[in-house]
Amino acid sequence: FLSFVAEFCCGFFVILILGNFWFLAVLYLLWLYLDWETPCTGGRRSQWVRSWTVWKYFREYFPIHLIKTSDLNPNHNYLLGFHPHGVLVAGAFGNFCTGPSFKNLFPGLTPYLHIMPIWFGCPFFREYIMSAGMVSASKESVSYVLNNEGGGHASVIVIGGAEESLNAHPGSLTLNILKRKGFIKMALKHGAHLVPVFSFGENELFKQVANPKGSWLRNVQEKLQKIMGFALPLFHARGVFQYSFGLIPYRQPIHTVVGSPIPVKRNLNPTTEEIEHLHALYLQKLKKLFEEHKRNYGIPEHKSLIFE
């Protein structure tokens, strides 16, 4: 969905350049230059955009639900680790960028969904995603959000990143997390409490072409991901008037469960051992969250998370 909107915005910008409105394109480029750092300094959210009626229908289509398991004190800042990435990241967008669910369940907290910086280089599209509450996933951006004195900010980071989308097959429970420890270091440096989040149903929205590790397709996808910065999963789902083939996601319920916070004391210079210790504790809490709730959302008893 984001890719489609981004392509539309880029196409519109090209039309401005090639048409009789080139001066508008020049003015926008000037604005882009002056506004370049905004995605790294909290963005520019719009409650009007976040409240569009279309997002209500978007959430109801699957439907998308946000489940609270513990209170989050608004006097602290939090780093929410979102799992899994899936293909669409629908749970993250639906719960943290649209609607009143997060605000109602966690009053006093403002969520910021961090996404790849490359998206903010797309003309016009950057304004749209910032208005929805998205900001850059750069270190500077995360630091800006978590540095808020008095608390009340929640950084939402999809830990597995684009690489994890290549594992987004129905029934898959594989998370790319063992080597991802940058978010742990950021939490320690800013004293942000860590909160594991698992979105049940995220991998059920699309069927992906078989791409087991070591296959030629997976090798090509991984090489392209390293070059471009984002992955290219080959997926399909249903059509508008038929259910056999198309790019519209299946209507599968998504339940995004927000776990209890892991208290973190500020440490400007954490050691490798301290990072490893907190990372291991985070994995333990994430696995516990999954095990406690999997029965409620159709996960067989013998299934467990796989960390890679």
Alpha-carbon distance of 223 to 213, in angstroms, equals 13
Which domain CATH number covers 192? Answer: 3.40.1130
Whether the per-residue pLDDT at 126 is higher than 60: the answer is yes
Is residue 73 domain-shared with residue 186, that is, in the same domain? yes
301: left (phi over 0), alpha (psi -120 to 50) or beta: alpha
- Determine the number of helices (DSSP H) and then strands (DSSP E) in the chain: 12, 11
Is residue 118 domain-shared with residue 196, that is, in the same domain? yes
Alpha-carbon distance of 17 to 27, in angstroms, equals 11
Residue-wise burial string across 27-65, b where 16 or more C-beta atoms lie within 10 A, e elsewhere = ebeeeeeeeeebbbebbebeeebbeeeebeebbeebebb
Is residue 119 domain-shared with residue 138, that is, in the same domain? yes
Query: How many of the other CB atoms lie within 10 Å of CB of 154?
Result: 27
Is residue 140 domain-shared with residue 52, that is, in the same domain? yes
Summarize the confidence of residues 172-181 as an average pLDDT: 96
| More confident of the two residues 156 and 99 | 156
Domain extent, residue 189, equals 39-307
Whether the per-residue pLDDT at 43 is higher than 80: the answer is yes
The CA-atom distances, in angstroms, between 142 and each of 40, 185, 188, 217, 280 are 8, 11, 12, 33, 22
Q: What is the pLDDT of residue 249?
A: 93
Is residue 152 domain-shared with residue 229, that is, in the same domain? yes
Alpha-carbon distance of 174 to 27, in angstroms, equals 46
Residue 130, token pair as written in the block: 């910032």
Mean pLDDT of the chain, nearest integer = 91
Is residue 199 domain-shared with residue 251, that is, in the same domain? yes
Is residue 29 domain-shared with residue 147, that is, in the same domain? no
Q: What is the pLDDT of residue 233?
A: 86
Is residue 23 domain-shared with residue 46, that is, in the same domain? no
Q: What is the pLDDT of residue 162?
A: 84
pLDDT class of 6 with cuts at 50, 70, 90: low
Geometric angle at alpha carbon 190, from 188 and 194, rounded to 5°: 60
Could you give the number of structural domains in the chain? 2
| More confident of the two residues 29 and 112 | 112
Q: Which residues contact 134 (CB under 8 A, 6 or more apart)?
A: 39, 43, 97, 112, 113, 114, 115, 119
Alpha-carbon distance of 107 to 105, in angstroms, equals 6
Is residue 64 domain-shared with residue 187, that is, in the same domain? yes
Is residue 46 domain-shared with residue 102, that is, in the same domain? yes
pLDDT class of 28 with cuts at 50, 70, 90: confident
Whether the per-residue pLDDT at 160 is higher than 90: the answer is yes
Per residue in 246-255, pLDDT (tens digit) is 889 999 999 9
Q: What is residue 8's three-state secondary structure?
A: helix
Is residue 18 domain-shared with residue 114, that is, in the same domain? no
Query: How many of the other CB atoms lie within 10 Å of CB of 226?
Result: 10
Is residue 4 domain-shared with residue 52, that is, in the same domain? no
